[in-house]
Amino acid sequence: MLKLFMHKATALDSLSPPTAAMTSEPQTQSPDIPKPDEAAEAVGAALAWNPFRHPKNFASMFRLWGKVPTTKTEHAAEVALLAHGGIAVSTDDAPAASSSGTPARIIDVEIDDSGNYIHTLAITGSSSSSSSTNDTAKPRRNLVMTHGYFTGIGFFFRNYHELSKTEDWNIYSIDWLGMGRSSRPSYTSKRLGSEDERVANAESFFVESLEEWRKRMGLDKMTLCGHSFGGYMSTLYALKYPEHVERLVLISPIGIPRPPEGYDQMLREGRGPLRRPRGTTPEPDSNKVSNSSVNSSTDKGATLDPPGPSMRRTLFFRVAMGLWERNYAPQWLVRSVGPFGRRLIDMYVGRFVWLPEEQRASLAAYAYQISVLPGSSEYALGDILRPGAFARRPLVDRIAGITVPITFMYGANDWVDSTGGEEAIRELGGRVKTSLFHVPKAGHNLHLENPADFNRILISEMGASI
């Protein structure tokens, strides 16, 4: 059972293991990011709720079973992680713990009369003035970042500082409703209805909550940047509300390609799609692949297992399918095993060897805090994706309706194959501006694994949104 859920989480969230190329050259942050000395106390508070660090005996761990970390420890873990990226966080109730670093505010933006809210990081500033005699202020534009599955706003901690330097831009980052530190309303699946009803219900939950957030924030236009699951939902938002989107930036988005040929037969036989082995794709000479250079390959980025899978594998896969269809999620496992849940998170984040040890500790503390909160929209995953992370309604069949420029970004060693983005570009047929980038020395977590190149490309595309 443990192996089953770890496999599912690895395939879908942003917690992917490193590649050989990444381990040899760990990425460093910009030299001007302040050292987060003041975060030490917050890190200690966030790590304190960990029975493996200070149990007097084995039984003491079980007395903590079912204990939920408080909002105070959630906040401490988030602030400590962001401090590693040079971000000094303040809230309505508390000033920033450090006077150094890029100032940012944490806001819980209410989106309905029931008290539901979207947890938001905001980095804003005053507009620059023109050199004209009228000295009119140039309006600020808005970048809105949306995270992937099983993560939150803290997973962009290596990007905010550099992005905030972009003149005349506000930087916002949100936790999807029911995820991260946003409110956790009850999510009602339509899995007993038709597949179209099931998908539409799940997609509406996220798209409409994002639209309510936009209204409450008073943003007319935004560049919408989404990673993985966030890229999928950002695309759906742009399809429904194109008048509020300047550009889409899709970071290793899931749900674009159609399933490979023979997919349904594969599921019946208990076989799964094979992903491209990590590190097997050669680094491109240029990071950018333009619309005109997209090849006509029909490779879907996944093949079928060899015929004749073992009985053990077939049984394992069928159990996994059953859990998937019933909307079980990795977070459910983390909560269910009580004090052992933190150990599971440590195992995941421990494989992020390209992060310095202190950053890994802070990331693990943060990831644990947001994983053990009450279950909510995490259960929508099975309503949107089929086993193997293929969308029930692939975006490639809908993306022709996009009317705004799109940027695709993939890691050079990404488990999400860039052929999905290439196919989407072909479907668009040159009707909108498109670009596709491969970020070297990075996998699915390209914003974490190679922040220097990721930030450079994103800032360049923000400028292209004019």
Residue 228 annotated among the catalytic residues of the structure? yes
List 16, 164, 228, 252, catalytic entry: 228
Residue 444 annotated among the catalytic residues of the structure? yes
Residue 119 annotated among the catalytic residues of the structure? no
List 84, 147, 227, 444, catalytic entry: 444
Chain centre to alpha carbon of residue 303: 25
Q: What is the 3-state secondary structure (H, E, C) of the chain?
A: CHHHHHHHHHHHCCCCCCCHHHHHCCCCCCCCCCCCCCHHHHHHHHHHCCCCCCCCCHHHHHHCCCCCCCHHHHHHHHHHHHHHCCEEEECCCCCCCCCCCEEEEEEEEECCCCCCEEEEEEECCCCCECCCCCCCECCCEEEEEECCCCCCHHHHCCCHHHHCCCCCEEEEEECCCCCCCCCCCCCCCCCCCCHHHHHHHHHHHHHHHHHHHHHHHCCCCEEEEEECHHHHHHHHHHHHCHHHEEEEEEECCCCCCCCCCCHHHHHHCCCCEEECCCCCCCCCCCCEEEHHHCCCCCCCCEEECCCCCCHHHHHHHHHHHHHHHCCCCHHHHHHHCHHHHHHHHHHHHCCCCCCCHHHHHHHHHHHHHHHCCCCCHHHHHHHHEECCCEECCCHHHCHHHCCCCEEEEEECCCCCCCHHHHHHHHHHCCCCCEEEEEECCCCCCHHHHCHHHHHHHHHHHHHHCC
List 13, 175, 383, 414, catalytic entry: 414
| The pairing of beta strand 406-411 with beta strand 245-251 | parallel
Q: Which residues are catalytic?
A: 228, 414, 444
